[in-house]
Structure 1
Amino acid sequence: MSYVLNEEEQMLRDAAKAYLAEKSPVSELRRLRDEGCKDGFRHAVWRGMAEMGWNGVVIEEAYGGVDMGYSAAGVLLQEMGRTLTASPYIPSAILAATALRLAGTEAQKSEHLTKIANGEAVYAFAIDEAARHHPERIDTTAVKDGNGFRLNGSKRFVACGNGADMLIVVAKTEDGGTGFFLVDPKTDGVTRTMRRTVDSHVPADIDFKDVKLDGDACLSEAEDGTAALAFILQAGSACVAAEALGIAEESFDRTLTYLKERTQFGTEIGSFQGLQHRAAELLCEIELARSLVMKALRSLDNEPSQAPLWIAAAKAKATEVSRFAAAEAIQLHGGVGMTDEYEIGFFYKRAQAAGEFLGDDRYHSDKVASTSGY
């Protein structure tokens, strides 16, 4: 298994770096926050990603995608982490696309995967029902009603839920199984409540009260809904870990630059041995996280049966390291690191929020233990 990017992935990384620096730098997140953008992202950037082919990296060519795999998605998300790109990429191009790929009928794939790949619509994946990630507990129900279903329940902190054109809702079916349901958020009985999180993103709490769905709203092709959900969340967790790695890398790079430029007592503070030791420790932690993230993504593409352990380890470590890197960045920037004028604080806030998405380091550390037989 290679831990080095191949030529195609290097080209993808370089293209992502250039596009995001122009269209979605950190200053754009600040602008979204200051404008109070109700969706939390720019639809023009989402469509631009589609034009670059990014939205279809895990979508088959038959539905408008490029089918490069999750390792390629990780390359993109690492760069998005570096610029704190606010986009529906993980909810739509990873979680929703994976759900449709695993459980969608041919007609559903043709309609919805094509819209994702083309940037025509934004999809949100509604899973969590409490403040913390707990996919084992799903109380939302979908009960058969004639030729369709009645959906009842609530979802909390749905990523990009306020700006989504379509929802994929995880619900329990009458036989106790796990089902996935396409829901138009404008349907009667659906109520969205906008939330603003510390990282200036805009998720939504979504309530479903006797929402009537047609029979074709159900993604019915998954043989085992529970197994499909597990894979969807593994894919999402690996990709969030890649974003967290990008946050850590950029936090470190900015801090290193600052240590080389800032002078005190007539010398660069980067020459102080105590600060050098802290930077060296941080670099070692980032390298370890990078290896785990790449192993998780490669496993997901090539050895999916081996992936759960590596994904849990990668998500736990990347969450821990991104928070550590961002906190160290603020400390090593000194007093200015605490001010809104400097962008380094945005990295700290995003590291905190991204760490909670799809399970924090404690949740995934427990996964590592249980998967290893403890």
Structure 2
Amino acid sequence: MSLVYNEEQQQLDDSARDFLSARCSVAEQRRLRDEQVAGGFNASVWNEMLELGWGGIALPEQYGGLEFGFQGFAPVFDQIGRNLSASPLLSSVVLCGTLIESLGDENQRTAVLPALVTGELRLSLALHAQDRFRADDVGVEVRADGNGYLLSGESLWVPDGHQADGWLVAGRLPDGELAVFHVPADSDDVTLEPVKLLDSRNHARLSLSNVRLAASARLGGAQDATSALELTVDRGAACLAAELLGNAENMFQMTLDYLKERTQFGVPIGSFQALQHRVSWMFVDLQLARSAVMAAFEVLDSATADHCERQQLVSLAKWKAGEAAHKISAEAVQMHGGIGVT
């Protein structure tokens, strides 16, 4: 397991750093928040991301992708975390793209994946019936209806669900199997309620009341969707871990720079041994988090790793990146003193 990016990943890292710092920085996120932009992201910036090829990083060339491998998302989401950049890359490309590629039949992959890559189509995953994913607890029930299906229920925390072109909705059949359906945004008997979160990002609550769908709307036909949904959630968690890592690394660097500039008693406060010890522990936490995140992306690209190994390493990355971000954000506020809270 490597702790540094390979040459291709480094190129993506450099490109993402330059682009996001110029076009989708923290200042842009604050503008989206203050102006209450309904979609939660800048549409022109999103189109530029797609022109850079980010929509096709992990997808095969036959579907318009770059066939780079899922590890290509690691540096991109790292830089997204550094800049708090808002986009549907996670919701539409990573989550929905993974689900269609792993569960859909060839006709569904051919019809949908190229449109996700170009941005012609934007989908969102409606999965959670509670605050976290559990395969045995989804909020939508599915019944057979002639040659089609009827869907009823509610899905919470639909990421970038507002203004999406449609949703991939997970539901449970009477026999207990999980199934996923493509529900277009113009479907009848669908209610979408925007959900306000602290980070001002676009989330929604999706309610379905006997929504009638053709049999072709079900991804993968009669195939149970549990394993595909678990892979999708693991990939999304790894990307969020990389985003948290980038966020923590940026806070660490800002704090380190401040310790070198802020003077007290005629010397930089970074010369004080007590602060040096605390910064050293922050650095150690960052390296442990980076190790866990890199391992998660590596196992997600492995053809030989089993289900348990994948889930263990992804869970480790999510936990360690979250712990490091929590510690470093608290230390950053403390070391910045009175200005840290702003």
TM-score of the superposition, structure 2-length normalised?
Answer: 0.95
Contact 1:29 1:84 in 2 (8 A): yes
Give the C-alpha shift of residue 121 in structure 1: 2.4
In the alignment, what sits opposite 2:12? 12
In the alignment, what sits opposite 2:305? 304
Q: Does 1:334 align with 2:329?
A: no
- Aligned pair in 2 of structure 1 residues 134, 263: CA closer, same or farther (>3 Å)? farther
Structure 1 residues not aligned, in runs of 5+: 340-374
- Aligned pair in 2 of structure 1 residues 222, 324: CA closer, same or farther (>3 Å)? farther
Contact 1:179 1:218 in 2 (8 A): yes
Structure 2 residues not aligned, in runs of 5+: none
Contact 1:82 1:246 in 2 (8 A): yes
Aligned mates of 1:285, 1:204 — CA distance in 2: 34
In the alignment, what sits opposite 2:251? 251
Residues 205-237 of structure 1 show CA distances to partners (whole Å, capped at 9, x for unaligned) of 111111111211100258442111111111111
Aligned mates of 2:68, 2:311 — CA distance in 1: 20
Contact 1:47 1:120 in 2 (8 A): no
SS at match of 1:79: helix
In the alignment, what sits opposite 1:180? 180
- Aligned pair in 2 of structure 1 residues 4, 15: CA closer, same or farther (>3 Å)? same
Q: Does 1:319 align with 2:322?
A: yes
Aligned mates of 1:146, 1:221 — CA distance in 2: 15
Contact 2:3 2:290 in 1 (8 A): no
SS at match of 1:288: helix
Counterparts in 2 of 1:204-219, with a 5 A limit?
Answer: 204-219=204-219
Give the C-alpha shift of residue 185 in structure 1: 2.4
In the alignment, what sits opposite 1:292? 292
Aligned mates of 2:336, 2:136 — CA distance in 1: 41
Q: Does 1:199 align with 2:202?
A: no
SS at match of 1:304: coil
Residues 58-114 of structure 1 show CA distances to partners (whole Å, capped at 9, x for unaligned) of 211111111212211111101111101111111111110000001112221112111
Aligned mates of 1:110, 1:43 — CA distance in 2: 25
Give the C-alpha shift of residue 242 in structure 1: 0.9
Contact 1:77 1:242 in 2 (8 A): yes
In the alignment, what sits opposite 2:56? 56
Q: Which amino acid aligns with 1:277?
A: H
Counterparts in 2 of 1:259-278, with a 5 A limit?
Answer: 259-278=259-278
- Aligned pair in 2 of structure 1 residues 54, 315: CA closer, same or farther (>3 Å)? same
- Aligned pair in 2 of structure 1 residues 178, 133: CA closer, same or farther (>3 Å)? closer
In the alignment, what sits opposite 2:126? 126
Aligned mates of 1:281, 1:126 — CA distance in 2: 39
In the alignment, what sits opposite 1:137? 137
Give the C-alpha shift of residue 4 in structure 1: 2.4
Residues 131-178 of structure 1 show CA distances to partners (whole Å, capped at 9, x for unaligned) of 344443113112111221111111111111113212111111232111
- Aligned pair in 2 of structure 1 residues 216, 162: CA closer, same or farther (>3 Å)? same
The share of aligned pairs that are identical, in percent, is 40
Aligned mates of 2:340, 2:148 — CA distance in 1: 54
Aligned mates of 2:83, 2:2 — CA distance in 1: 26
SS at match of 2:67: coil
- Aligned pair in 2 of structure 1 residues 39, 175: CA closer, same or farther (>3 Å)? same
Give the C-alpha shift of residue 186 in structure 1: 2.5
Contact 1:156 1:205 in 2 (8 A): yes
In the alignment, what sits opposite 1:344? none
Tell me the matched-pair count: 339
Aligned mates of 2:24, 2:136 — CA distance in 1: 35
Larger mean Cα displacement after TM superposition, 214-223 or 178-187: 214-223
In the alignment, what sits opposite 1:369? none
SS at match of 1:120: coil
Following TM superposition, where does structure 1 have runs of at least 4 consecutive aligned residues deviating by more than 4 angstroms?
A: none
- Aligned pair in 2 of structure 1 residues 144, 221: CA closer, same or farther (>3 Å)? closer
In the alignment, what sits opposite 2:114? 114
Aligned mates of 1:54, 1:120 — CA distance in 2: 14
Larger mean Cα displacement after TM superposition, 241-250 or 131-140: 131-140
- What do you get for the CA RMSD once the two structures are aligned? 1.4
Contact 1:241 1:318 in 2 (8 A): yes
